[in-house]
Amino acid sequence: MHLTLARILTVGLFIGLLATGFATAPVRAADRTLHLYGTVSGWGDTPGTIGSPGPTLRVDVGDNVTILAHREDSFTHNWYLDLNGDASWDAGEPRTDDIDSAVPRSVTFNATTAGTYTYYCEYHQGTMRGQFIVQAPSTTPPAADNTLLYAGIGIVAVVAVVVAALAMRGRKKA
């Protein structure tokens, strides 16, 4: 009986330890939606914070970014990210369609390269601009997902209880 108990506990412990090897969560890109409100005076992250330069926007490398640009005056605006630093929109750089009504316009893109860039309104570059920072991934490891660890511990506990119950039952018969 003691040999069987030892084998069952060893197998349960092995399963629990094996489960802990899979307990870390994979790193995933975040989906980020950023709202910007614009007038010829600048950009803001709310209608009451519009200024020039606009707010500094920060994302991480790999993030899926959606910019939702709103206009707060009667002028036509758009939003674009100047990736090559030439102060003009070029094909391949993220840009919204023209915002020519109360309906906001959006653009979605993946932040692939760390760096500091400038965003603009193509029509009012002198005032409608700001910094867009793509940060390198953190060196801090992601938090562990302990679900499998707890499941392994639970399996070991259940096996131990069952074995103890069987051992007590066997002693009562003897």
pLDDT at 31: 93
Q: Which tens digit of pLDDT belongs to each residue from 122-135?
A: 999 999 999 999 99
pLDDT at 29: 74
Whether 27 has a pLDDT exceeding 80, the answer reads: no
Q: Which residue has the tokens 């910007």?
A: 36
Q: Which tens digit of pLDDT belongs to each residue from 80-95?
A: 999 999 999 999 999 9
pLDDT at 24: 47
Whether 144 has a pLDDT exceeding 80, the answer reads: no
State the virtual CA torsion across 111, 116, 121, 126 in degrees, nearest 10: 180
Whether the Cβ atoms of residue 127 and residue 42 lie closer than 8 Å to each other: yes
Whether 118 has a pLDDT exceeding 70, the answer reads: yes
Whether the Cβ atoms of residue 62 and residue 112 lie closer than 8 Å to each other: yes
58 closest CA partner among 88, 85, 32: 32
73 closest CA partner among 34, 109, 47: 47
106 closest CA partner among 30, 33, 19, 162: 33
pLDDT at 140: 57
Mean pLDDT within 147-172:
71
95 closest CA partner among 111, 82, 114, 112: 82
The region of weakest confidence among 33-37, 52-56, 125-129, 160-164 is: 160-164
Whether 48 has a pLDDT exceeding 90, the answer reads: yes
Whether 136 has a pLDDT exceeding 50, the answer reads: yes
Residue 132, number of CB atoms within 10 A of its CB: 24
